[in-house]
A and B are shown apart, each in its own frame.
Chain A
Amino acid sequence: MKTALVVLAAAASLILTACGSSAEPAAHASAAPSCPAAWQAGWTKLARQIDAPVYCPGWMPNPLDGRIGSQWNGLRTVDKRGGFLVSFIYQETGSGEVHVNFHRWPGTRMPHCRAQTSNRQIPCYSDRAGRVKTHGIEATLYTVSRDADQWHLSYLWRANGATYVVSEHVAPPFSFAQVKRNVTRVLRSLVLVPSQA
């Protein structure tokens, strides 16, 4: 413990003295995202099935891809009202989990989930932690997520009379900070896929 803390002190001192520098690349706010050709068909099919626009990711965290039907695509569920959940997940004992969810709920009300301690319905997302505006999306980041998004950092936004969410599980091998960067990058990479080609 002592050794670890000494190393930690040294590392943190370096961080402290390096304040002002940044490891973040320059923002590419103006670069228009694009949906990779191999991923396009699945999202277009989903949009047509629910008869509502969806968002195709232009980027996904390693090792995931964003192709519905790929080896990483865990869930693809739709409901009769135009809602869906599409998840991509990599999970391996000992090396961690990379898990990204995409949701759509019809309507612009905050989705509700069951509380941990009772049958009470409570907001599925809470504890706002910032906003991001990108390519026509104004999303709010939530640090507390429930149900399918439990343990996730979630961006929620409203568009086309619906509520959309993209989220990523905070779990090794990624740190909280890395997951936040990941899910923000996924958000910035989204491309609107209309229901009518």
Chain B
Amino acid sequence: MKLTRKQVLAGAAVGALGAAGAYELVDQLAGASPPRAAAGPLPPEQHVLDGVRTITDNGVEVAVPPLHHQVVTARVRVDAADLPDAARALEDAFADIERRYAPTPAGLGATVAWGLPYFHRFVPAAWHEHAPRDVRALRSALLPARRFDSDPDATILEDNDVAVLLRSDHLEHIAEASKALFEKLDLFEVTSIRKGFAGGGFDGGAGLPKQLAVAAGVPGAELIPDGSELFLGFTSTQSQGLGPRKIVNFETLGYVDLRSGYFHGGTHMHLSHIREQLDTWYQLFDFDDRVDTVFRPGLRVREGTQTVRQDPDDVSTRAQIARGFKTHRIIGHSSAIQTASRLQADHVAGDGTVYRKGTAIPHRADFNTLDNPFFWSARPTVDGMSEQPSAGVHFVVFNPTSDDFERVRNAMDGVFPGGARLKIPPRDAGQGFNSVLETTHRQNFLVPPRRHRSFPLAELL
């Protein structure tokens, strides 16, 4: 029997879901999984990951992310009329996964997020009625992805229906969950599989990014500092740089009108893939240049430092950034984005929690990858799939809204909330990070609360 192209692709995707490829090395190199705290009851939020261990590096508390990550994107392959049944089947699968694995790095963090194409194609009327609205931006909380000043024209703005993020210290947990969701259920047509890893160097040794990049023959890999959490040589998961537990929830900061309240406990997720030119980063930028452009110009830290304190008191003002730019012609990545990623004033949430000025908002869930750009794609030509491994990051971040993400990403280019703009060409060397990054794909998603995660709004049809 001759298989259709669709069947062939589906078969290939199933094979790729469970395959580890080079990422098997993560377990060989990292050794035993780090000790993890146990989880409590399941939180209402899907995006919260409990049981994350912290360590101290250079006097700074740092969260140790799960070793393995995978994102699977897909199109829904059931008819609208069958959505309620599909929702029950998917929910049963998630519930089964949760019975087997606690939502922690030692178990499995599973987050399902839905794109605008799903809401527009399958549940347009219910979406119109219940869609959360960003009252600060006066737009929907979920916007189509867009390109930013430093993005290439070729950046693909995706239109997936759904994305599932799986995080664990154990590859087999991710493989089993992937099979349960995408192989045993006939609900989705997989469009891409994205894999990667994080950390691995906190307890000494060369660290995963360096070892995997060297093994892959990535140019510049030998210059990644030993122990680095990321390919680019610095730590991104210090606790003060990560948003507190509920801060990205739609309801927390008052950015969102939840209307009916259907999506209370939900949030927004941005997913992109970014290539990183390590040889440029390590051969054209010396350590001081890298500190200047990653943090702020003129900051001096001991050579070799990877974790630089980013407490609320360390946040730069916009005036300080402008002065630094005028003097050095350089934008510090962290200091620039903090104009949008940190609270500009104290905030008291509806549940009484006080969030102090300078508190970080986004929850980062990004991970290193050698995918180029994906581990597997249903559209290899369109997605520009290459057999040659490439250093990069699958950038996954939770913000309260699409607009909130855009504010942060614009600030990275020197475009600040309110429209003020530093006059620096896109991808100029003075933008440091941006000059060595190339975003290949972007999409925004809505992460429903756990109670509505499976085909949200379908039960209202």
Residue-wise, chain B 361-385 has the 8 Å CB interface mask toward A (1 for contact) of 0000000001110111000000001
State how many residues of chain A have any CB contact under 8 Å with chain B. 29
Cβ contact within 8 Å between A1 and B371: yes
Determine the chain A residues whose CB is within 8 A of the CB of B222 once the complex forms.
176-177, 180
In the bound assembly, the distance between CA atoms of A9 and B212 in angstroms comes to: 9
Determine the chain B residues whose CB is within 8 A of the CB of A129 once the complex forms.
223
Cβ contact within 8 Å between A1 and B23: no
> A1 with B387: in contact, given A16-B28, A126-B286, A170-B283 (CB under 8 Å)?
yes
- Within 8 Å of chain A (Cβ to Cβ): is B25? yes
- Within 8 Å of chain A (Cβ to Cβ): is B388? yes
In the bound assembly, the distance between CA atoms of A176 and B279 in angstroms comes to: 10
Cβ contact within 8 Å between A9 and B25: yes
Determine the chain B residues whose CB is within 8 A of the CB of A2 once the complex forms.
16, 19, 21, 375-376
Residue-wise, chain A 9-52 has the 8 Å CB interface mask toward B (1 for contact) of 10111011000000000000000000000000000000000000
Give the Cβ gap from A133 to chain B, nearest Cβ, in Å: 22
Cβ contact within 8 Å between B16 and A127: no
Determine the chain B residues whose CB is within 8 A of the CB of A13 once the complex forms.
25, 28
Determine the chain B residues whose CB is within 8 A of the CB of A170 once the complex forms.
219, 279, 283
In the bound assembly, the distance between CA atoms of A29 and B189 in angstroms comes to: 62
- Within 8 Å of chain B (Cβ to Cβ): is A95? no
- Within 8 Å of chain B (Cβ to Cβ): is A8? yes
- Within 8 Å of chain B (Cβ to Cβ): is A143? yes
Determine the chain B residues whose CB is within 8 A of the CB of A143 once the complex forms.
223, 282-283
Cβ contact within 8 Å between B430 and A117: yes
- Within 8 Å of chain A (Cβ to Cβ): is B217? yes
Residue-wise, chain B 314-333 has the 8 Å CB interface mask toward A (1 for contact) of 00000000000000111000
In the bound assembly, the distance between CA atoms of A143 and B279 in angstroms comes to: 10
Selected from A12, A116, A175, A177, the residue in CB contact (under 8 A) with B22 is A12
Cβ contact within 8 Å between A3 and B288: no
Determine the chain A residues whose CB is within 8 A of the CB of B29 once the complex forms.
16
In the bound assembly, the distance between CA atoms of A117 and B16 in angstroms comes to: 44
- Within 8 Å of chain A (Cβ to Cβ): is B24? yes
Selected from A4, A116, A118, the residue in CB contact (under 8 A) with B387 is A4
Cβ contact within 8 Å between A116 and B375: no
Within 8 A of A (CB), among B257-299: 279, 282-289
- Within 8 Å of chain A (Cβ to Cβ): is B417? no
> A1 with B386: in contact, given A9-B24, A116-B284, A170-B283 (CB under 8 Å)?
yes
In the bound assembly, the distance between CA atoms of A8 and B216 in angstroms comes to: 6
- Within 8 Å of chain B (Cβ to Cβ): is A5? yes
Selected from B19, B371, B372, the residue in CB contact (under 8 A) with A6 is B19
Cβ contact within 8 Å between B286 and A127: yes
Give the Cβ gap from B403 to chain A, nearest Cβ, in Å: 31
In the bound assembly, the distance between CA atoms of A5 and B283 in angstroms comes to: 26
- Within 8 Å of chain B (Cβ to Cβ): is A90? no
Cβ contact within 8 Å between A9 and B429: no
- Within 8 Å of chain A (Cβ to Cβ): is B215? yes
- Within 8 Å of chain B (Cβ to Cβ): is A159? no
Give the Cβ gap from A4 to chain B, nearest Cβ, in Å: 4
Determine the chain B residues whose CB is within 8 A of the CB of A116 once the complex forms.
284, 289, 429-430
In the bound assembly, the distance between CA atoms of A131 and B139 in angstroms comes to: 59
Give the Cβ gap from A26 to chain B, nearest Cβ, in Å: 23
Nearest B residue to A17, CB-CB? B28
Give the Cβ gap from A78 to chain B, nearest Cβ, in Å: 28
Selected from B28, B215, B375, B429, the residue in CB contact (under 8 A) with A1 is B375
In the bound assembly, the distance between CA atoms of A2 and B284 in angstroms comes to: 31
27 example contacts (A-B, Cβ-Cβ < 8 A) are as follows A1-B21, A1-B386, A4-B389, A5-B23, A5-B389, A8-B21, A9-B20, A12-B25, A12-B216, A16-B28, A116-B284, A116-B289, A116-B430, A117-B328, A117-B430, A126-B287, A129-B223, A143-B282, A144-B282, A144-B284, A144-B285, A151-B283, A170-B283, A175-B217, A176-B220, A176-B223, A176-B279
Using A1-B21, A2-B16, A8-B389 as known contacts, list a sample of 6 further A-B pairs with CB atoms less than 8 Å apart, ordered by residue number in A. Answer: A1-B385, A1-B386, A2-B19, A8-B215, A15-B215, A144-B282
Residues of B within 8 A of A (CB): 16, 19-25, 28-29, 212, 215-217, 219-223, 279, 282-289, 328-330, 370-372, 374-376, 385-389, 428-430
7 nearest interchain CB pairs?
A5-B21, A12-B215, A126-B286, A5-B22, A144-B286, A4-B387, A117-B430
